A = this chain, B = another copy of it.
Amino acid sequence: MSLSDTQVSLKHGAGGTAMTELIDAVFTATYGNDLATRDDSARIDIEGPVAFTTDSFVVDPIFFPGGDIGRLAVAGTVNDLLTIGAKPVALSASFIIEEGLPISDLLSIARSMALTAREANVRIVTGDTKVVPRGSADKVFITTSGIGTILLNGLSGAAAKPGDAIILTGSIGDHGAAVMLAREKLLDAESIESDTAPLVDIVLNLIRAGCKIHAMRDPTRGGIAASLNEIAKQSRVGIDLDGRALVVKPAVAAACEVLGIDPFYVANEGKMLIFVDPRDAERSLEIVKQSAYGAEAALVGWVNALHSGQVRLRTTIGTTRIVSPPTGELLPRIC
């Protein structure tokens, strides 16, 4: 780290030597050799068909229990590639930085991205750095895009079938609750950790084992309520959820109570909803549970042909209610 500055300033986004120094000291040094060519595009040797996705991350605060905006930006894009059956191969990372951001923060974020990328076995191969004057953005926004090799064809939110079992890889609401508590400085913020994680192992193990997966979605913004309603609508099927199988950690439940929100609508960043042929359900669940991030996985529901487009919950006390899609903003800047 040869930079004498301690804060990012406008010169670091100007395309000149100050920008090159920042990129060298923060990004090239951290990501390793993958960025080394210095051309405006990276060359990737990849077999088609290719999966391609993008997400912008504007989470506030940028550091929170269990993660930070960098880990989130890598895991979020990796998980989106996985949802269509692709093995993530390469990521781009574009930063919009508010003048004044401590360079130590930027370095922490870059290191977190590099670690998460290594964990997910992807390379960060290209990027961009823009700096805007104080007050034109809030600290730092990151947009990651990703490309991957599609290993399993036909996976889509429109491909769930009546009879499919629905596996959820763990508890719900952890990420959103952790960020909200950290932002509002409510309760003991450290008591809840974000679940932000790349789910490469879980998904690739299922694909390699030949499990007949029809659809996957990582339930981020809008929580499992949003993802399940989207798939019910896209696939024109009904979904029945088993309330007894859904796990909400006590601290998350307490936080949601305080914040007046339903954990069904709270973002997760390290969970996957997996729609699988019923004959492969038990085997798939066992495979998911073998991965670190899937240890608490459960079979949480079934797809039916009856109430098309609707998600219904059988509650723990035996009643049934409709889980409607979220409409408006519950938790701004959660991811």
A16 and B327: CB pair below 8 A? yes
Bound: A126/B86 CA distance, A:
15
Q: Which of A54-62, A244-252, A289-297 contacts B (4 or more CB under 8 A)?
A: A54-62
Contact assessment for B56 and A128 in the assembled complex, using a CB-CB cutoff below 8 Å? yes
Q: Is the interface of A mostly helix, strand, loop or mixed?
A: mixed
Task: State in angstroms the CA–CA spacing of A90 and B147 once bound together.
Answer: 11
Which of B43, B48, B56, B135 makes the CB contact (< 8 A) with A143? Answer: B56
Is B328 in contact with A40, judged by CB distance below 8 angstroms? no
Contact of A138 among B13, B40, B136 (CB under 8 A): B136
A204 within 8 A of B: no
- Docked CA distance A133–B141 (Å): 14
B94 touches A143 (CB 8 A): yes
B-facing residues in A12-30 (Cβ within 8 Å): 12-19
A131 to B135: give the CA distance in the assembly, Å: 16
Is A100 engaged at the interface, CB distance under 8 Å to the other chain?
no
Q: What residues of B have a CB within 8 angstroms of the CB of A14 in the complex?
A: 221-222, 326, 328-332
Which residue numbers of A lie inside 8 Å of B, CB to CB? 9-19, 37-58, 60, 80-81, 83-84, 86, 90, 92-96, 125-128, 130-133, 135-138, 141, 143, 145-148, 150, 156-158, 217-218, 220-222, 226, 230, 234, 267, 325-333
